[in-house]
Amino acid sequence: MISRKVIINAALSAGFDLVGVVRSEELTEERNRFNEWLLGGNASTLEYLSRNIEKRFDSRLLVEGSRSVIICAVSYLPPYAWDYDGGSVTKVASYALNRDYHVTIKEMLFSLAEQLRRVSPELRFRAFTDSAPLAEKSLARRAGIGWIGRNSLVVNPKLGSMMHLGELVIDEDVDEYDTPMEGVGCGSCRACVEACPNGAIRDDRTIDTRRCISCRTIEREADDHIPLHGWIFGCDICQSVCPFNRHAPMHANSKFDPILNPDMLSLENLDSMGDEEFRAVAGATPMMRAGLERLRRNARLNAREHLDR
Ligand code: SF4
Ligand code: SF4
C-alpha cells in the first residue's frame, strides 16, 4: 500500500499543480450519461469515441491489476492572451503554442512513477494523457481536482480550466482516497454558453462536436458550413471568458511557456511554407497533429468567411 502523502509530494515535485487519487472502479453514472450523449449523435464523425466504452469508464478493464488511479493536473494558462485583431484568420488555441503536452505530461508522469518506485519497487503502472480511452475528466472530478464546468471542462476554483490532465494507473492500493469538491461550481454563470459563437455548448454541460470549432479544426471531420471564426487550431473562446480563468494565476511550470509566436502562422506564411519549414516552426507543438495542409485549409476557410461577412 502506498501513502497518499507520498504520492502528492512526488506529483508536486514532478511539476504538477494538483493531484488526487481514486480507487479503480466502474464509473457507472458517468458511463450512462456518456452513452446517452452518444445516442444523441453528438460525437458526429469522431468514431473513436464510441469504441472501448467499458474500458473508458473502468480503469480495471483498461489496465490489468489496476487498483488506484492518480490524477494530476498542471496549468498552462498563458502569461497574456494573444491579442488577435478582429480580422485574424489564423488564431491558435493557447495550449497549442507550447511544446506538445502529450510529450511533456508523459515525461512528468514517468518522473512521478520513478519516485513512487523508490518506496514501492514492485509498483506496476501505465501513464495516460488524453491518449487512451480513459474518462479523465470524470476521474478528475471524483479526485477533487475541480468540477465539470458548463463548457464540459474541469474547472478548479484557483487555477481555472486551462489545465492539462495526466493519469497514472497503478496496481497498488493507497491508504486514503480523495473525494469530489463540495460547495463549488459554475453557479449562475453562463458566460461560456453565451460566448460560444456556434452555440456548441448545451444546457446539459455537453458539447455538440458538430458545431465546436476546436473539434472541427483538429479532428478529421467532413467539411461543412460550420464557421471557424478565425481559428485554425483549437478555440479558446469559452475558456477565455470564464471568470475562473480571468482570475487565475499564470502557469507556474516553465515547461508550459509558449514556444511559438502565432504571428509566424499568418495566411501568407502558411501558403509559402514548405513541410520542412513547418516542422522547424511548429514541429514540437501539438499542431503537427493537424499538419500544414489542414491549417492552410482552415485559414483559407476563415479568409473566405471573413470576406463574406
Ligand atoms: S471551444 Fe469554441 S466552439 Fe467549442 S465549445 Fe468552446 S467556444 Fe464553442
Ligand atoms: S464560464 Fe461560467 S459557466 Fe462556463 S465554465 Fe466558467 S464558470 Fe462555468
Residue-wise pLDDT for 112-141, tens only, equals 999 999 999 999 999 999 877 899 999 999
Of 132, 148, 126, nearest to 48 (Cα)? Answer: 132
Q: Which ligand is nearest to the CA of 151?
A: 2
Give the CA distances from residue 164 to residues 45, 95, 104, 105, 175, in Å, rounded to whole numbers and listed in that order.
24, 9, 10, 8, 26
Cβ atoms of 268 and 185 within 8 Å: the answer is no
* Ligand 2 atom closest to 149 (CA): 5
Highest mean predicted confidence (pLDDT) among 3-12, 35-44, 130-139, 199-208 = 3-12
The domains of the chain are located at: 4-78+97-170, 191-247+258-308
Residue 260 Cα to ligand 2 midpoint, Å, equals 28
Q: Active site includes 130?
A: yes
More confident residue, 38 or 106: 106
* Confidence (pLDDT) at 221: 61
* Ligand 2 atom closest to 190 (CA): 3
For ligand 2, atom 1, the nearest C-alpha belongs to 242
- The DSSP bridge pattern shows strands 91-92 and 125-128 to be unpaired
Say whether pLDDT at 102 is over 90: yes
Q: Which ligand is nearest to the CA of 243?
A: 2
Give the CA distances from residue 54 to residues 31, 61, 63, 221, in Å, rounded to whole numbers and listed in that order.
8, 7, 12, 25
Pocket of ligand 1 (CB under 6 A): 151, 196, 198, 200-201, 207, 212-214, 235, 237-238
Selected catalytic residue, list 130, 171, 271, 308:
130
pTM equals: 0.92
